[in-house]
Structure 1
Amino acid sequence: MKKEAMLDSYMTYIQLEKNYSAHTVSNYRKDLESFFSFLESEGLSEIREVEYLHARNYVTQLYEQAFSRATVSRKISAVRSFFKYGSREFGLNEEAFKSLHHPKKRERLPQFFYEQELEMLFESVSGNDKLSQRNLALLELLYATGMRVSECTSIRIGDLDRAMNIVKVLGKGKKERYIPYGEFAREALEHYIEEARPKLMKNTDHVYLFVNSRGEPLTDRGIRYILSDCIKKAALNTAIYPHMIRHTFATHMLNNGADMRTVQELLGHAHLSSTQVYTHVTKEHLRSTYLNAHPRA
């Protein structure tokens, strides 16, 4: 089988079975196509002939091209994951990249909103028009649940248990989980579903919860645009990305006494280590508050 066919098979696997986001799938394809181009420049036409030396040369070239450690790490992950899949499906030898040193990414604490900033963000979407009602429901649900944006865009009306205030989401690896949401989110959702959504739907007919101004299902890009617009209206001097709401949810939960396992389950993290990064955020918050408040700090 040619490497192009192997690539197509792998892309289908990570998209359908691993449930990777469209953004991740696109990046992995570009990374692997770039790696294939490197092999051709090395005069290697057969992917089964890849050895450790080729892997080392590839990484050296990435650093020579001045990619960041995070980007190099992602590119190695893409190729390593491809070879792992290929060893199982096509008999490829995965040892070349399996034994390769994986550069550690510089740890950065997740950015989050303080509660006062979040209130300003909510105030920016107050209004009785249909788009304001949708934006408030979207913002309230994201903050109430900490769900990923990709999970939010796939929610259907039937995924909401409006009597129990619980939403079913489809996470990574197609794993379902149920997340409760509070009274603020419930009220915003009810207004949106009963009043705003029917007006936005116009002549369209589908079951997705959040829709754009034309009544079509809201996309990841659409949510980014909405949140950026909220930041401008709130006059907050910060950039925003959708995951910031998720970081804010986790940080506020831990700051207010939630235990780590509960937050892990709500976020849909497979490993506790993914959730533990937020303990560093809360410790830094405590330290900063102490230094600013204690007279002899």
Structure 2
Amino acid sequence: MSRSDPLIDAFLDDLWSTKGLSDNTLSAYRSDLCHFEHYLRQQGLTLLAVSQTEVRGYLAFRLEQDFARSSSARLMSSLRRFYAYLLHKQQIATDPMALIESPQLSRQLPDSLSESQVSRLLAEPDVDDPLERRDKAMLELLYATGLRVSELVGLTMEQLSLRQGLVRIVGKGGKERLVPLGELAVAEVEAYLTEARQILLGYKQSDVLFPSRRGQMMTRQTFWHRIKRYALRAGIETELSPHTLRHAFATHLLNHGADLRVVQLLLGHSDLSTTQIYTHVARARLQALHEQYHPRA
């Protein structure tokens, strides 16, 4: 599976040019389709010689191999888009995915942090250290805006307007959105720009807003590991993910009365149903508070 089938390459090129999908999303599609192509090859078949029977056989094979239901759901999405593309290009006569249903997924509540935990996390970086001053600004900005970590580390100077208190984000599918920063985030980013950024850059010119120790754009994995280190120092035992502060941002907004559609716009969700899972989070927190404090709960 070291080389992709030309059909897969053509499909991914089409997605990249027409949908503007991220490298991570395209990589996930490639992985799903290459594994499926490898399975077909072992059956003496090709991607163009597939019926519902082969697709169902592959799903049964994955079930036997104990693949997660969520990964099978993603696979189904990959196969649906791929075979819709082939049908549109008239490379197949019928769509083998037409009558196949995706596995039902339980709605899992995203991991989040309480407001006190967020406060402890944000207070942890040592602002006298240039790297930690940078991290402090990044954490404040992340919690203030609900950005994806990939959006945060990819920020450039031209996307930021401290005077207006806004950051311009190009999210999934190339969609732009303007997100307000808030006074605390603006103050922390200003302090970082004044005290630390040029030190990290070695006083060289760069458009990267939050450069690494080497003066280059940081990877999201690096920043995630730094978040976990601050959480450990702050005594936070909650399991963290790269999106933990994004989830906290949405949950805390809803807990304080924000409109769901406003949260949808701020998060950059194209579909309101994606945002609605946070109403379950907020409702669960409110129910827990009621049970804890109401005398007749």
Q: In which range does the TM-score fall when normalised by the shorter chain?
A: over 0.9
2:218 aligned residue: 218
The residue identity in structure 1 corresponding to 2:250 is A
Does the 8 A contact of 1:70 with 1:106 survive in 2?
no
Does the 8 A contact of 1:151 with 1:169 survive in 2?
yes
Does the 8 A contact of 1:168 with 1:178 survive in 2?
yes
1:186 positional shift: 0.4
Does the 8 A contact of 1:166 with 1:180 survive in 2?
yes
How many residue pairs get aligned? The number is: 295
1:153 aligned residue: 153
Does the 8 A contact of 2:143 with 2:246 survive in 1?
yes
Q: Please give the alpha-carbon distance, in whole angstroms, between the structure 1 residues aligned to 2:120 and 2:277.
A: 26
Give 1 or 2: higher helix fraction. Answer: 1
Q: Please give the alpha-carbon distance, in whole angstroms, between the structure 2 residues aligned to 1:70 and 1:146.
A: 24
Q: SS at the partner of 2:96? A: helix
1:81 positional shift: 1.6
Q: TM-score, normalised by structure 2?
A: 0.94
Does the 8 A contact of 2:224 with 2:242 survive in 1?
yes
Against the structure 1 CA distance between its residues 240 and 203, is the aligned structure 2 distance closer, same or farther, given a 3 Å change threshold? same
1:92 positional shift: 3.1
The residue identity in structure 2 corresponding to 1:141 is L
2:70 aligned residue: 70
1:90 positional shift: 5.3
Does the 8 A contact of 1:212 with 1:222 survive in 2?
no
1:195 aligned residue: 195
Q: SS at the partner of 1:179? A: strand
Q: SS at the partner of 2:217? A: coil
Q: SS at the partner of 2:97? A: helix
Against the structure 1 CA distance between its residues 95 and 225, is the aligned structure 2 distance closer, same or farther, given a 3 Å change threshold? same
Q: SS at the partner of 2:155? A: coil
1:120 aligned residue: 120
**Which is further off, 78-87 or 56-65?**
78-87
The residue identity in structure 2 corresponding to 1:116 is S
1:275 aligned residue: 275
Alignment of 1:75-224 (within 5 A): 75-89=75-89, 91-93=91-93, 95-202=95-202, 204-224=204-224
1:4 aligned residue: 5
Does the 8 A contact of 1:228 with 1:239 survive in 2?
no
**Which is further off, 65-74 or 16-25?**
16-25
Computed over aligned residues only, the root mean square deviation of the Cα atoms, in angstroms, reads 1.8
Q: Please give the alpha-carbon distance, in whole angstroms, between the structure 2 residues aligned to 1:62 and 1:16.
A: 31
1:55 positional shift: 1.1
Does the 8 A contact of 2:166 with 2:178 survive in 1?
yes
Against the structure 1 CA distance between its residues 206 and 6, is the aligned structure 2 distance closer, same or farther, given a 3 Å change threshold? farther
Structure 1 unaligned blocks of 5 or more: none
Does the 8 A contact of 1:157 with 1:208 survive in 2?
yes
Alignment of 1:33-44 (within 5 A): 33-44=34-45
Deviations 1:221-268 (A, max 9, x none): 122112111111111112211211111111111111111111111111
**Regions of 4+ moved over 6 Å:** none
1:48 aligned residue: 48
Query: Is 2:26 aligned against 1:22?
Result: no
The residue identity in structure 1 corresponding to 2:205 is D
1:203 positional shift: 6.2
Q: Please give the alpha-carbon distance, in whole angstroms, between the structure 1 residues aligned to 2:244 and 2:20.
A: 22
